[in-house]
Amino acid sequence: MANKLESGIIIGMISKLSNEIAMTKALQYTQLRLLAKSQNLDFEKVLKNVESLHAQYMLKTIDDFEDIEKQATDFLEENPELDNRNES
């Protein structure tokens, strides 16, 4: 179990990462808004399309990871001498 110092460091790192993600998202929204405006596009439609593409990408990524996990599990079942998942 992590001590108070380690917990504080972890919480601080998560907070910093969260802030950086929020800043990146704000910058991307600004860029999308400027792009939509310069091309006479409806920002809400552009944003909806970008979010849809992101969702599709995330689902594909999840499927890829599930496939990799299944391959790894199958490999370990075929080679139990290499399986150290239950070791402490």
pLDDT confidence tier of residue 31, bands split at 50, 70 and 90: very high
User: Which of these, 14, 35, 32, 34, lies nearest to 24 by C-alpha position?
Assistant: 32
| pTM for the predicted model, two decimal places | 0.54
pLDDT digits (tens, 9 = 90+) for 34-61: 999 999 999 999 999 999 998 999 899 9
Q: What are the distances in angstroms from CA 66 to CA 17, 34, 61, 75, 88?
A: 26, 37, 9, 14, 25
Categorize the per-residue pLDDT at 22 as very low, low, confident or very high, splitting at 50, 70 and 90. very high
Cβ atoms of 43 and 37 closer than 8 Å: yes
